[in-house]
Amino acid sequence: MVKCPYCGYEGKHTLLKTWKYRWWDVYYYQCPKCGGKFRYQVDPEGKRKSYVMRVGVKRG
């Protein structure tokens, strides 16, 4: 389950884009609740996950 790093929303997010970055699978999501966009990165083994909050996003 993806969790919005801005507002903590844990429901269904809008998947805008996916791509590969080095060994990461990157998912670019938009939160339907606060409108924040963020990257969610998962390595192929699923061991490491990280959120990357987009800098400069205008919030609420």
Which residues form the interface with Zn ion (CB under 5 A)?
4, 6-7, 9, 31, 33-34, 36
CB of 9 within 8 A of CB of 1?
A: no
Q: What minimum distance in Å lies between the beta carbon of 59 and Zn ion?
A: 9
Q: What minimum distance in Å lies between the beta carbon of 21 and Zn ion?
A: 22
Positive/negative CA dihedral, 17, 20, 22, 26: positive
Q: How far is CA 55 from CA 8, 11, 18, in A?
A: 17, 23, 18
**Closest to Zn ion by CB, 1 or 22:** 1
Q: What minimum distance in Å lies between the beta carbon of 40 and Zn ion?
A: 12
